[in-house]
């Protein structure tokens, strides 16, 4: 299944619906080769304009979904089709929902100690029959990496979810992709925190109004500075459109 890719600030983003993204992940697992899925929001795309390594990783990913209203807006502002927002959190939930029928196994890696375990319990409640074959928190030193890689490999998951924050999760997954030999690896940011109930998600009306970013800023004032990236992102997309 081929879909159009849209160049947003030098990163190729797939113009996919949620159902197409899920279908693509199922196909990638069927192929069995190590592959990465990235969830590109405005902040990640802006980071990639001054982080050449991140840009290279995103453009090497097998699937880059438009995670965020800003990404969808950017594509449309550039005159391209982008059917809908495919939020990373929602993509994970859709994959977990269909996993029992396909016998897909997950490994949850990242977040603060205890959070991945709580997310695992939540998933097992929401999606009966789901197989989560291991968890590991995201607090580790360089010398712990061999043990982490060994733990993940021995668990033999089909999908590795890494919640280490951007761009650390993308760089870690890319660096160890061929060694881990996991069909699909996805950087999922704060997904485990939301599943564990540690961080609230925006009410549905705010999600539909594309104001989830504002809700997160209100809830976590420490994120407020990151909102300054949004006007910068809009300006850069406008420059791209005008060929600047």
Domain boundaries, the chain: 16-21+32-53+87-226
Task: Give the separation between CA 223 and CA 225, rounded to whole angstroms.
Answer: 6
pLDDT of residue 198: 86
Least confident of 107-111, 157-161, 181-185, 234-238: 234-238
Give the number of C-alpha atoms closer than 13 A to the C-alpha of residue 155, restricted to the C-beta side.
Answer: 25
- pTM assigned to the model: 0.92
Is the model's pLDDT at 1 over the cut of 60? no
User: What is the assigned CATH class of domain 16-21+32-53+87-226?
Assistant: alpha beta
Q: Does residue 211 contact residue 202 with C-beta atoms inside 8 Å?
A: yes
Task: Give the separation between CA 18 and CA 38, rounded to whole angstroms.
Answer: 14
pLDDT by residue (tens digit) across 210-219?
666 666 666 6
pLDDT by residue (tens digit) across 121-130?
999 999 999 9
218 sits in the region (left: phi over 0; alpha: psi -120 to 50; else beta) called alpha
Task: List Cα–Cα distances, 107 to 9, 45, 104, 119, 226, in angstroms.
Answer: 32, 26, 10, 11, 29
pLDDT of residue 83: 96
Per-residue tokens: 152: 């993940």
Beta bridge partners of 185: 36, 160
């Amino acid at each position: 299944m081929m879909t159009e890719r849209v160049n947003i600030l030098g990163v190729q983003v797939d113009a996919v619906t949620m159902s197409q993204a899920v279908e693509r992940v199922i196909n990638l697992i069927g192929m069995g080769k190590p592959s990465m899925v990235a969830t590109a929001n405005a902040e990640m795309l802006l980071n990639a304009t001054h982080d050449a390594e991140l840009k290279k990783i995103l453009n090497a990913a097998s699937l880059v979904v438009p995670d965020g209203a800003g990404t969808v807006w950017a594509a449309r502002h550039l005159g391209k089709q982008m059917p809908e927002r495919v939020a990373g959190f929602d993509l994970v939930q859709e994959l977990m929902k269909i996993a029992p029928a396909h016998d897909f196994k997950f490994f949850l890696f990242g977040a603060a100690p205890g959070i991945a375990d709580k997310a695992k319990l939540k998933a097992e409640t929401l999606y009966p029959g789901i197989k989560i074959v291991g968890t590991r928190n995201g607090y580790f030193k360089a010398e712990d990496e061999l043990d982490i890689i060994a733990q993940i490999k021995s668990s033999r998951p089909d999908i590795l979810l890494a919640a280490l924050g951007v761009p650390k999760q993308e760089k870690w997954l890319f660096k160890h992709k061929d060694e881990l030999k996991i069909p699909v690896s996805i950087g999922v940011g704060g997904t485990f925190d939301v599943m564990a109930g540690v961080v609230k998600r925006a009410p549905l009306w705010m999600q539909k109004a594309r104001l989830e970013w504002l809700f997160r800023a209100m809830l976590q004032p420490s994120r407020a500075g990151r909102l300054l990236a949004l006007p910068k992102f809009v300006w850069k997309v406008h420059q791209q459109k005008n060929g600047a």
